[in-house]
Chains A and B, each alone.
Chain A
Amino acid sequence: MSGAILSGLGALFEGVRFLLAHGGPNVIMIAVACAMFWLAIAKGVEPLLLLPIAFGCLLVNLPLSEVMAEGGVLKTLYDFGIGNELFPLLIFVGIGSMTDFTPLLANPRLLLFGAAGQLGIFVTLLLALALGFSKEAAVSVAAIGACDGPTVIYVSNMFAGMDKIPTAMVGALAVAAYSYMALVPVIQPPIMRLLTTRKEREVKMPSPKGKVSKAALIAFPLVVTVITGIVAPKGLPLMGMIMLGNFMKVSGVVPRLANAAENEIANISTLFLGLAIGGTMAGPQFLTRETLMVFGLGLVAITIDTVGGILLGKAWYLLSGGKVNPLVGAAGISAYPMAARLVQNEGQRWNKHNYLLMHAMAANTGGQIGSVMAAAIMLSLLKGLGII
C-alpha cells in the first residue's frame, strides 16, 4: 500500500524530474512564451496572433506534454488546418473582406510600389542560399519578406508537408514574420529618413481625383483572380481566397457572408492557427542555429522591402519632376494599413499640410497584392524548375 502511494506521488513529480534532467530547452521556450505574453498584453504587439502562439508554445513545452503527440489537441489542430494549409487560406478570406481597394483603383500606377516592396523576398532568398539553407528552406525564409504571416505559413508548410524543411521551422518562420510585421513602425522610419532628403519628404501630393464605379470594384477581384490563375497557378489558392473575401464585400449582396469572413471565420482560424503554430515551438527542435538565422534574415527581408519601395519612389520623384513623394514607396509592403499610416505620419512630420494617406493606402493595398503575387510566382517557378 505504502509502495503504491509512493509510486503515485512519484508520478506526480515526474514532470519536475524531467525538467531537472532534460528540460533546459523547454524552460527557455517557456520564458520565450512569457516574453510573447508580455509583448502581446503590455505592448499590444500583434496580440491576436502572439497570444495564442505563446499559449501553444507554453502548452507544448510543459514537461511531458502530449499536446503535439499523435491525437493531442494541438497536433489535431495542426493536421486539421495547418498541415493542409486551410487556416492561412481562411484568414486570407477575412483579409480580403477587410481590404478596400478603392484608393488603388483610383490611382492604379501606385500598384507598382507593391512590386518594389517585394525586393526583400528575392534578395533574402539569395542570402539564405549563401548561408547554406536548402532551396526550400531559403524560399520559406525569403517569404518573410512578403510581410504577410499567412503567406509565410502557407509556403513553409507546403515544404514541411513534403519533409523538405523541419516542422519546427514553420513555427520559427511564423513567429519571425508576425514579430517583424509588428515592428514595422520601428523598422521603417529610420530607413525612410536615411534614404530620402528633406526636400523629397516634404513633397505634397494632391488628393487622387479619380472616382471608382461599383462595377469596377466588383470586376477587380475577379480579374485579378483570373490573371493569377493564368500567370501563377500554384499561388491561386492564396490570391483566390483574398479576392473571394473582397468580392463578397464589394458585391454588397452577401453581407452576412462578408461579415462572417471578416469576423467569425478570421477569428476562429486565427485562434486555431496561432495555437497550432505555437505547438511547433517545442524547445529541443526550435532552439537551433537555423532559428536565429531565420530571425536575422527576416529583419533583412523587411528592411530591403522598404529600401526597394523608397528607391522606386526616388526614381519616380526624379522622373515626375518632383511630383511623387518617395515616402509613399515605403507603403508598398503587405502590413496593411500600418505601413500606410506610417507614411502619412512621416509625411506630416516634415510638412504639416501634407496628406499622403490615400496614396499610401493605394501603395499598401498594392503591397498586399504584390506580396501574394510574388509568393505565387515563386511557387510556380519552383514547379517549373522541378523543385516541387
Chain B
Amino acid sequence: MNNTVFGLTMLVVGMGGTLATLFLITLVIRALAAFFPVRPDDPEEKK
C-alpha cells in the first residue's frame, strides 16, 4: 500500500471511526441517564 492510499485510509476511517464511536458513546450516556435516573433521595447526586 503506498503512502497516499495509507494516509487517506487513515484519515477517512480513523476520523470517521473516532466520530462514529464517540457518537455511539453519546447514545450510551443518554441510555445510562434513562436507566439510572437521579432520584430525589439520592444522596450522591451531582449536578
Which A residues are closer than 8 A to B by beta carbons? 102, 104-106, 108-109, 111-112, 114-116, 118-119, 121-123, 125-126, 129-130, 135, 138-139, 210-217, 219-220, 223-224, 227-228, 231-232, 252, 366, 369-370, 373-374, 377-378, 381, 385
Contact = CB atoms under 8 A, between A and B. Distances in A.
B32 A219 contact: yes
28 contacts: A102-B46, A108-B25, A108-B26, A108-B30, A112-B26, A116-B19, A118-B18, A122-B10, A123-B11, A125-B10, A130-B7, A138-B3, A139-B10, A210-B33, A212-B33, A212-B46, A213-B44, A214-B45, A214-B46, A215-B35, A216-B32, A216-B35, A373-B21, A374-B15, A378-B14, A381-B13, A381-B17, A385-B6
Mostly, the A contact residues are helix
B30 A370 contact: no
Contacts of B4: 129
A97 B4 CA distance: 40
Given A112-B19, A219-B32, A381-B10, 6 more contacts: A108-B26, A108-B30, A212-B46, A213-B33, A215-B35, A378-B14
B14 to A, nearest CB: 5
A220 B27 CA distance: 12
A130 B19 CA distance: 25
A126 to B, nearest CB: 4
Given A126-B8, A129-B3, A129-B7, A121 B22 contact: no
Contacts, number: 132
A122 B9 contact: no
B6 A106 contact: no
Contacts of B10: 122, 125-126, 139, 378, 381
A224 B24 CA distance: 10
A213 B21 contact: no
Closest 7 A/B residue pairs (Cβ): A215-B36, A108-B29, A214-B44, A126-B7, A129-B3, A115-B19, A216-B32
A111 B22 contact: yes
Nearest to B6: A135
Nearest to A209: B47
Contact of A138 (B7, B17, B33, B42): B7
B42 to A, nearest CB: 6
Given A211-B38, A373-B22, A104 B29 contact: yes
Contacts of A125: 7, 10-11, 14
Given A126-B11, A135-B6, A223 B17 contact: no
B38 A212 contact: yes
Contacts of B35: 215-216, 219
Contact of A111 (B14, B26, B37, B38): B26
B26 A211 contact: no
